[in-house]
Amino acid sequence: MTIILDTNVLVRLIVHDDEKQVAVAQALVIEARQIVIPLVAFCETVWVLMSLYKMSRADIADAFDIIVDTSTIFTQRSAVEAGISALRANGDFADAVIAFDGAMQGGDIFATFDKKAAAIAEKSGIQARLLKA
């Protein structure tokens, strides 16, 4: 069986804040042949972990490293790794995923009003245009 994980399951597996839900989530992961985690679930998870659980970017990056290194996990690994790199550079996970995914879909320039996002995109080899109003 191939399971698609929702954000709330991913959060439970990382923060272990509800014993019963954590046990159910862990059992599901153990029984699944494959686990698919969509990019959106990673992006939402970062938001939840930072805003509700006050987790640091480094701790989230460490947790995501473990997740993507799990042999039964299937995701857009390169995009998640771009997001992890952004977290480690004190940047935004979702911005990095957007820039990476856009480049993979044939985009040439990441356009943003966010100075930090533009710098991180450039550092990862994606041309960026910092827009000014």
Report in angstroms the alpha-carbon separations of 105 from 39, 89, 99: 15, 24, 10
Q: What per-residue confidence (pLDDT) applies to 66?
A: 95
Residue 124 has pLDDT above 90, yes or no: no
> What mean pLDDT is reported for the chain?
95
Work out the angle between the directed axes of helices 57-68 and 7-15 (0-180°, nearest 10): 110
Domain boundaries, the chain: 1-75, 77-133
Tens-digit pLDDT profile for residues 44-86: 999 999 999 999 999 999 999 999 999 999 999 999 999 999 9
Comparing CA positions, the residue from 95, 94, 85 lying closest to residue 118 is: 95
- Token readout for 15 is 């923060």
Residue 87 has pLDDT above 90, yes or no: yes
Q: What per-residue confidence (pLDDT) applies to 106?
A: 96
Q: What per-residue confidence (pLDDT) applies to 1?
A: 84
Place of tokens 């856009």: 102
How wide is the angle at C-alpha 20 spanned by C-alphas 15 and 26, nearest 5°?
65
β-pair partners for 130? 112
